[in-house]
Structure 1
Amino acid sequence: MAAIAVESAPVPPPPAPPAAPDRFRTVKELAAGSFGGIVQVLSGQPFDTVKVRLQTQSRTNPTYSGALDCVKKTIQHEGFKGFYKGTLTPLLGVGACVSIQFAALEAAKRALQARKPAGASLSIPELFLAGSLSGVANSILSGPIEHVRTRLQVQTGSAASAAPGTVFYTGPLDLARKVYRAHGIGAIYKGQGITIGREIVGYGTYFSTYEWLLQRHCQQAKVQRCDVESWRACLYGAISGYTLWLVIYPIDAVKSMLQTDAFAPGERQYANAFDCVRQTVRNVGVSGLYRGFGTCMLRAGPVNGVTFVAYEAAMRFLIPL
């Protein structure tokens, strides 16, 4: 009787060893975030200057009738460079802020991912938590940086034309030095409480929107993050920018008004953030919390779109190194 040959089942190849952790991953994320932040400042500073000037102008005797009037008067009295007042601070500082945002976001995502089954995606609440934690980390720098920038943005004219007794700041370092000497380190962090609140809500919304859109696309198209087209990253970044400012704009307006208020308690217009909201709504209406909103939304899409493109492009370049 002939023996029957029995084919043995193919032996599956041994599983590939896990990739060694990238010891410099956080450094690369910080570097890529810095690049994204620099791109963000250079592209968005003129819009931000107009936004801040509209937010902080007098309610009873406004300097500008609207965004276009602000642009016209700024060019007329200060030239195009007027839109870039206080740029040195965010150029150095926002680069650092955005690098912290992305590095803290990725660290939080890795910590949350480690608690989930292999292959499971982070949920929207988890992505929101990771984004909020990045916002808290970011606020350590963003509070004083935005305070300095905001005061310089609303300062018009020159030292020679300043009214007698008015303190004029020649730049961010001069402002920081004069404020510290006159009022102490706490004054540099003026408006810090509302800044932290803004960052928790804002960056939770911002990053959860972007990460969810990107995660969803990668799952549906069965591609890796590094394979996502730049135009798609720009689109998702723009959408995230719009959601960010739709959520936090009134908070940001209050922050700007508090940061440009007087330092001495007896000279302040607002006792705190709640008093600022109450006075603004009582005297102007809810619209007083949305001055400059149109300018901000014009800026939000393109600026945040290019920020994410710059970050993703930098990470693609740095990861293989």
Structure 2
Amino acid sequence: MSAKGKSVTELSAPPIDWRENAKDLSAGAAGGVAQVLIDIVKVRLQTQTRGSALSAARKIWAKEGPAAFYKGTLVPLLGVGACVSIQFGAFHSFRQLLESYNDQEYPTQDRSLSLSQFYLAGGAAGLTNSVISGPVEHLRIRLQAQPHGAGRLYAGPWDCARKIMGLAGPAGLYRGQVVTLLREFHGYGVWFAAYEGLLAVLQEKTQKKREELPSWQVAICGGLAGEALWLLSHPLDVIKSKMQSDGFGSDQKYRTMRHALQLTWTTSGIRGLFQGLGPALLRAMPVSAGTFVT
């Protein structure tokens, strides 16, 4: 993870520091728990409930109680920290590959990455991360979307994973993986490119080196990058949530990503592809800001 007040592109790639990785895991897990309170509202809006985020939150509170907002907490605790470490570790590796390419192709120029190369490195990091994020988010979404009370389908994440594999085999854990790959590549490409672009603009405006920028300015750049991520990748997230909360066998509604997109467009139009955007944006600013400043 980037050092405080310093661009991720300015960090070298030292040997694995297990203490730093542990820090990334802890910070990521804490961030995952903090996200759950808002994330369940986003998932319900994407898969079940019509109306505003506030009305959805009120329904969850009235029908299921305050504990319902913590559904799926264990999954982020176990998976999100690892995802954060993988994202940044993979990003550094792909950044170095692109810097080496720049050195070889343009030896007389600055080896720094262009915004399109930042997008490519971030997207490649997202693809790497999707190996874990796909099944982790699948379990989280099923736990958050399941009925309450007597209609409850899963006792917890392990029970959820066991039942999915019983119905669809191990591959069932990766349902919606194609749209997950698209969302991770595009979303994290935008995330890293937006962060680096905003820092570059800020550095030019203030005539300061990156390490001289105050933490609050770095946090704002990170927060705005998070907003850009969700604004530009939310339709993919909606389709992913619909597919990962869908039934199995005769109860399956969406056959493919394209089918899910067609049905969503037919029934709800463009608005249907942005259901739950409000909670996503509300969550993105503090979580993304904290990630880059940590």
TM-score bucket (shorter structure) = 0.7 to 0.9
1:58-94 Cα distance to aligned partner (Å, 9 max, x none)? xxxx4x5321111112112222221110111112101
**Normalised by the size of structure 1, how large is the TM-score?**
0.80
Alignment of 1:105-254 (within 5 A): 105-115=91-101, 116=103, 117=107, 119-158=110-149, 161-162=150-151, 168-218=153-203, 221-225=207-211, 227-254=212-239
1:76 to 54, 58, 62: 62
CA distance in 1, matches of 2:15, 2:175: 37
What is the aligned partner in structure 2 of residue 304 from structure 1?
288
Offset at residue 269 of structure 1 (A): 1.1
Is this contact kept in 2: 1:67–1:292, CA < 8 A?
yes
Are 1:283 and 2:267 matched, yes or no? yes
Percent identity between matched residues is 40
What is the aligned partner in structure 1 of residue 5 from structure 2?
none
CA distance in 2, matches of 1:67, 1:295: 7
Is this contact kept in 2: 1:32–1:99, CA < 8 A?
no
Is this contact kept in 2: 1:36–1:95, CA < 8 A?
yes
Offset at residue 38 of structure 1 (A): 2.1
Rg: which structure is higher?
A: 1
Partner letter of residue 289 of structure 1? L
Greater alpha carbon shift after TM alignment, 127-136 vs 211-220: 211-220
1:273 to 226, 235, 257: 257
Is this contact kept in 1: 2:36–2:72, CA < 8 A?
no
**Normalised by the size of structure 2, how large is the TM-score?**
0.87
SS in 1 for 2:273: helix
Higher share in helix: 2
1:79-136 Cα distance to aligned partner (Å, 9 max, x none)? 2221110111112101111110011111111222233347532111111111011000
Partner letter of residue 209 of structure 2? V
CA distance in 2, matches of 1:85, 1:253: 19
Structure 2 segments unaligned to the other structure (5+ residues): 1-11
CA distance in 2, matches of 1:130, 1:284: 34
1:202-221 Cα distance to aligned partner (Å, 9 max, x none)? 11111111123234545663
Tell me: CA distance 1:138–1:29, structure 2 relative to 1, closer, same or farther (3 Å).
farther
Are 1:22 and 2:14 matched, yes or no? yes
CA distance in 2, matches of 1:213, 1:28: 30
Offset at residue 234 of structure 1 (A): 1.1
Offset at residue 285 of structure 1 (A): 1.7
1:245-285 Cα distance to aligned partner (Å, 9 max, x none)? 11111110000001111121x33211211111111111222
SS in 2 for 1:285: helix
Offset at residue 155 of structure 1 (A): 1.5
